[in-house]
Structure 1
Amino acid sequence: MKSLSSYLHSGQLDLARKLFDKIPNPDLRALTLLLSAYSKHGRPKQSIALYRKLCKEKNLQPDRYVILSVAKACSLSLDTFEAKELHSDAIRFKLASDLLVGNAFIDMYGKCRLIEEAISVFDEISGKDVISWTSLILAHANCKQSGEALQVFREMLISGMKPNSVTLCTVLPVCSAMKAINLGKEIHGFALRNRFEEDVWVSSGLINMYAKSLNLRLARSVFDGLLERDTVSWNTMLSSYFSIGNSEEALELFGKMKSVEDQMNCASWNCMVSGFAQNGRVREAVEMFAQMQHSGFRANEITIASVLPACSNMENIRGGREIHGYTYRHCFIKDKMILTALVLLYAKCGDLMKSRLVFDQMIHKDVIAWNAMIFASSMHGCGEDAICLYHQMIKSGMKPNSMTFMGVLSGCSHSLFVEEGRSIFSAMSRDFGIQPDAEHYSCMVDVLCRAGHLQGAYEFIQGMPMEPKASAWGAMLAACRLYKNVELGKISADRLFEIEPENPGNYVLFSNILMNAKLFDEASKIRKLMRDRGVKKVPGRSWIQIKNKVYTFVKDDDKMLFRDEIFGFLEKIGKKMKLEGYKPDIDFVLQDVKGEEMEEALCSHSERLAVAFGAMNLNGESVIRVFKNLRICGDCHNAIKFMSKILGVGVTVRDNLRFHHFRDGSCSCHDRW
């Protein structure tokens, strides 16, 4: 027995099992120790399997402690079948009436989401104690039955049973979920009267409850009133500030936390990294990740899963690669959440090949991973790959969801796969029982529009079973620019001016359609309408990362860094481009200028400036990656094709619609975007 305990204490479960199997008639105490050890070390299924083996082979007659150990294993493994079988065993061996066993079964059924069984066990307990009531409240909470959980709490109070600190910690999150602020305040009063406010878990629950009810004043009051604050209370307060978007207060509190000895842990840093990332402050999230490492804390799976989306949103492929290396060195590479984040990182940063490589290395793919790769292929214009992935997903047994169809229909639109798009759109409801929403209909409009089926797209919009969204009319308006259809462009613009009157892109796009059609007076009226409504045009902005620094370019920026060098480079390469056959398309000059000034105006577009700067700073790189906030200019699109051919490198430009991969004088979009 002493050797068995020694093995279990040191975590050597396999050696402990070998020793246990050699015992001719092991006692129940030894069995209980081994069963509990399996669950403690994350192997609950082995605990259940051993119990079943002994029941079958040695006619085991368990005591209450064996039953309690196996109940814990069933809770951890969420094994509903074994949970019910164990309950039957307890009844057969006359252990079901035991209070400890009954309480354990309520908890077990609650964890397994079998609420009716949990209620049945509760009702059969004759001498219910505070644990019985608390377990049933938690069971309802686990089953997302917040209203019923609060009702059980009220019945508990009516019965005269006094809640303990665990009860309060259980019911406070339910108050948060139900926004039951008044009941939460009553519990706060109860906690104060019974000196529970000194319990850090109760205080943390109160802080969280007030924060989720958007009452940070009371949350901070509870926090400031704590005589002793531990890491849990600090982290809860930090999360509370981030939950309402108050990043500055969180940062200030974090600074105070740093000055308190032994209060900070990995979860504290994770809270800061994820908090900044979720509030759109991605640069601060990445900086916080760097500070965490410099402070000697080791990032875990949660840290990595939080910082990778921040790198994606910054298009920081260099930082993403470093974090990818970190995941390999620290054996996180099997984590599905991290791998999916890496798939999106590489895709959003313009490296679709690396994105696919990470995806193909995933052994177990869930629907989120499949969707990520489908969206990645679509945004890079690889519609055929998106469709192929969609069919592979179905063949693997994975059922597509609403987001899957958004992704694959987007791929169909970028690659002009009209019939495939129609077939997949029909399959949504017919084969998978998913009713298309307004966004799916908008995707189908885009499929038709990009392929030039403008009249068919207009009729499709008119036949929609719901009010068309701006995205549907926006797809139509963009196609009218490409296919020079002024009539449908006017219809689309008029609807967009009603739906989203403050969106400057619609005015600019329709004005450009009219300008290209030489309808200068009407174009002037649209620009006047834009001015009268106080709508300002968003300036085109492009950026590129060189080493660890991001350089941003806007048109007509007199303070632009390296201005003379960049325009000198463009002038030099411009001469080579003309020898190769490049002719400036002055239709994209929307200013009142003439002659050479037109060419100069085109050269000052932000995407061309960024590509030029990237070419001047290649440093052995084979691809120039540029990002733009608006649609790429048609003349710049043509010019970059010539630049890629002359420079002999790939150029990737991501505009607000998709990725364009330029190489050897051509673009992956085949001049359709």
Structure 2
Amino acid sequence: MVHKFPVVDLPPNVTLRFLRSYLSSGQLERARDLFDRIPHPDLRSLTILISAFTKNNLPKESIRFYRTLRENKGLEPDRLVLLSVAKACANSSDLVEAKWVHEEAVKFGFSSDLLLGNALIDMYGKCGFHDGARRVFDDLPQKDVVSWTSLISACMSCRMPVEALQVFSDMLHLGVKPNSVTLSTVLRVCSESKALDVGRQIHCQALRRALEDDVYLGSGLVDVYASCSSIRQARIVFDTIPYKDTVSWIVMLAAYFVDGECEEALKLFELMRSGGVALISASWNCMISGLAQNGRPEEAFRMLGQMQQLGFKPNHITVVSALPACSYIESLRRGREIHGYIFRHRILEGMVPLTALVLMYAKCGDLDKAREAFNQMPRKDTVAWNTMILANSMHGCGEDALAVFHQMLECGVKPNSVTFTVVLTGCSHSQLVDVGKSIFNSMSTQHGLQPDADHYACMADVLCRAGHLEEAYGFIQSMPMQPTVGAWGALLASCRVYKNVDLAKIAAAHLFEIEPENPGNYVLLSNILVAAKLWDDASSIRMLMRDKMRDRGVTKVPGCSWVQIRNKVYTFVKGDDRNALRDEIYGFLKEIREKMRLEGYLPDTDYVLQDVDKEEKEELLCSHSEKLAVAFGILNLKGESVIRVFKNLRICGDCHSTIKFMAKIIGVQIIVRDNVRFHHFRYGSCSCRDLW
């Protein structure tokens, strides 16, 4: 129960002593109650109480408290009171209140005060309002290094790196000497904008002014060199920092991972551990995230295990770092374990872990679980909505993707550029041409967004997949920017489905020019020519591909499929003979093929590119990696009702037809993810409606 003070006009020094006592012990309510019962509170007490609310992560309460006193008691603030309120506005990023505090400063004659002016610049920067920060800066009759640093930081907060660097240049031109905070701030700008030359200039300044021992400057320089792919220079700077803190080590570890040098990162981490550097959760999170992002998920999970064994408790950043590793190896089991951890330990303070969970389930082939996780989110931002739209789109559920999009709009969440990319992708996979056109046009007419090259490529794909190839070709030619690989690639892929050799040659010619090192384009055109029985033309394309690959040292990625059975992943390639169950797999395929024939299955030998007899073509079809993986999954069902198979290339037409029949005859759901989308096979049909 909060003690109720009598209304007594206490001496200011006694009031102050009581307030400080309660605030130091965290009793904010008692401090507020005491203040409310003093008829004539002094400004020092008010400043202390406002600052206490802000420090305790209650900045909005600080602002409300000040407003109440201004409106009900006519309190006239001094500059320290306004300084405290400005900091509260900065912490809450409340632009409306920030503008009001600025008006208060002008009203009470503090517009020229340097200390308050610097705080207002910082406040506007954290509220994302560059014009306000610049206006306060320009109105200051005198400026110090803090003023310039605050403006640079404000430009950075407002994502204006060019302006930030210009402010720094103006500062130097006027003879204002930057301090270490200024240089550290500019280094962050250099890192984000990859301004290597400016970073080098700051490095020189630090050396000239004997600031090279500053750990913050050192870490900043490491980050700049690393972000600009100067990893060796980054390590040189790192090694010269005499007293490295944990952050410095983490910056260098992250630099190695960004550069793809995982082995160097692992060596450095071992050096960090053996050297007695204090490990923190961020150190482990950096390692887990770096390994996962560099395609080493098993090592990421081992690092997670070590982290827990040493007594470190995974937090929401750990979860977000580990979930992509589950997606990389399509491990639903591990994803479910992390899901359980999230809810057992109530890691729900932000939307990021739950959004990552939605994406993990979608990429691992469990759309129902993705929807369930999404529906359990108490709040959803634009990224969360985009993720759920993407989940539906990649599984070919275009209508559901559109439903989520419209629900997003109804909830008042503003779509961004990514939103329209994923929505148009959903329209593409479900052949929703008219809807796709409407959404594409609404970007500029209703949502104030100009379509970029990716949006045009998506719209071209919508037309192509629905068979409107001539219209798509005209659309690509009319693009206001140079057509991308995505646009021409969509046309080439659909030319195979709809057997349009002429447009295929046109699309391929553009792709050969844009990305001559991609063997997939040559293979696809060759396959189209083979299907059209244009053997000589196909042979010429294959020879051209071999020449290009030899000249550029490019190798063709072999097709493979994999399936996880309990805790182990089994990988298959075409004609795979390595599996211990080889005889059972091929025996099963032979047996099921006879049952499929009785159900009306006919082998599609167009997908055999060798010029061999029909019987041999059928045998070659049986050895495709996706068929082997599905057969292995069926032989190891053990009561499961769903088989999930993943393939690195596009599924072939005969395999697609075969798996439909398998799902019907065996009575299971088979989910196959190729490099384009998910296919859900059930009851003899596929979610893609045989057009993918």
Q: Say whether the fold is shared (TM-score over 0.5).
A: yes
- The residue aligned with 1:109 is 124
Matched, 1:245 2:260: yes
Matched ranges for 1:391-406 at <5 A:
391-406=406-421
- The residue aligned with 1:603 is 622
Deviation at 1:189, TM superposition (A): 4.7
Amino acid at match of 1:383: G
Change (3 A) 1:184 1:329: same
Matched, 1:505 2:520: yes
- The residue aligned with 2:115 is 100
Query: Once structures 1 and 2 are overlaid, which stretch shifts more, 108-117 or 324-333?
Result: 108-117
Per-residue deviation, residues 399-418 of structure 1 (Å, max 9, x unmatched)? 33332222222222222222
Deviation at 1:606, TM superposition (A): 0.3
Change (3 A) 1:116 1:651: closer
Matched ranges for 1:408-423 at <5 A:
408-423=423-438
Deviation at 1:613, TM superposition (A): 1.3
In 2, Cα distance between the equivalents of 1:134 and 1:9?
32
Matched, 1:390 2:409: no
Amino acid at match of 2:314: A
Deviation at 1:195, TM superposition (A): 4.5
Matched, 1:449 2:473: no
In 2, Cα distance between the equivalents of 1:164 and 1:468?
47
Matched, 1:173 2:188: yes
The SS at the match of 2:517 is: coil
The SS at the match of 1:399 is: coil
Deviation at 1:234, TM superposition (A): 1.3
In 2, Cα distance between the equivalents of 1:455 and 1:126?
65
Matched, 1:254 2:273: no
- The residue aligned with 1:629 is 648
Matched ranges for 1:419-498 at <5 A:
419-498=434-513
Q: Which of 661, 675, 692 is matched with 1:642 structurally? A: 661
The SS at the match of 2:451 is: coil
Amino acid at match of 2:685: S
The SS at the match of 1:364 is: coil
**Native 8 Å contact 2:392 2:398 kept in 1:** yes
Root-mean-square deviation (CA, aligned residues, Å) is 3.0
Deviation at 1:441, TM superposition (A): 3.0
Matched, 1:345 2:364: no
In 2, Cα distance between the equivalents of 1:178 and 1:518?
52
Query: Once structures 1 and 2 are overlaid, which stretch shifts more, 621-630 or 89-98?
Result: 89-98
In 1, Cα distance between the equivalents of 2:620 and 2:499?
23
Deviation at 1:601, TM superposition (A): 1.8
Q: Which of 308, 312, 323 is matched with 1:308 structurally? A: 323
Query: Once structures 1 and 2 are overlaid, which stretch shifts more, 411-420 or 460-469?
Result: 460-469
**Native 8 Å contact 1:334 1:362 kept in 2:** no
- The residue aligned with 1:380 is 395
**Native 8 Å contact 1:286 1:307 kept in 2:** yes
Amino acid at match of 1:110: G
**Native 8 Å contact 2:443 2:449 kept in 1:** yes
Query: Once structures 1 and 2 are overlaid, which stretch shifts more, 430-439 or 618-627?
Result: 430-439
- The residue aligned with 1:38 is 53
The SS at the match of 2:212 is: helix
In 1, Cα distance between the equivalents of 2:126 and 2:65?
21
> How many equivalent residue pairs?
673
Deviation at 1:607, TM superposition (A): 0.3
Amino acid at match of 1:543: W
Deviation at 1:175, TM superposition (A): 4.4
Amino acid at match of 1:170: T
**Native 8 Å contact 2:519 2:549 kept in 1:** no
**Native 8 Å contact 1:642 1:665 kept in 2:** yes
Deviation at 1:567, TM superposition (A): 2.0
In 2, Cα distance between the equivalents of 1:533 and 1:88?
67
Q: Mind listing any 5+ residue stretches in structure 2 that lack a counterpart? A: 1-14
Percent identity of paired positions between Structure 1 and Structure 2: 62
**Native 8 Å contact 1:662 1:668 kept in 2:** yes
The SS at the match of 2:665 is: helix
Deviation at 1:590, TM superposition (A): 2.9
Q: Which of 201, 206, 210 is matched with 2:221 structurally? A: 206
Amino acid at match of 2:425: S
Amino acid at match of 1:46: E
- The residue aligned with 2:370 is 355
The SS at the match of 1:245 is: coil
Deviation at 1:366, TM superposition (A): 2.4
Matched, 1:407 2:422: yes
In 1, Cα distance between the equivalents of 2:452 and 2:118?
45
In 1, Cα distance between the equivalents of 2:631 and 2:231?
49
- The residue aligned with 2:12 is none
In 1, Cα distance between the equivalents of 2:644 and 2:125?
52
- The residue aligned with 2:685 is 666
Per-residue deviation, residues 576-598 of structure 1 (Å, max 9, x unmatched)? 43444433333333335446544
Deviation at 1:443, TM superposition (A): 2.6
Change (3 A) 1:568 1:23: farther
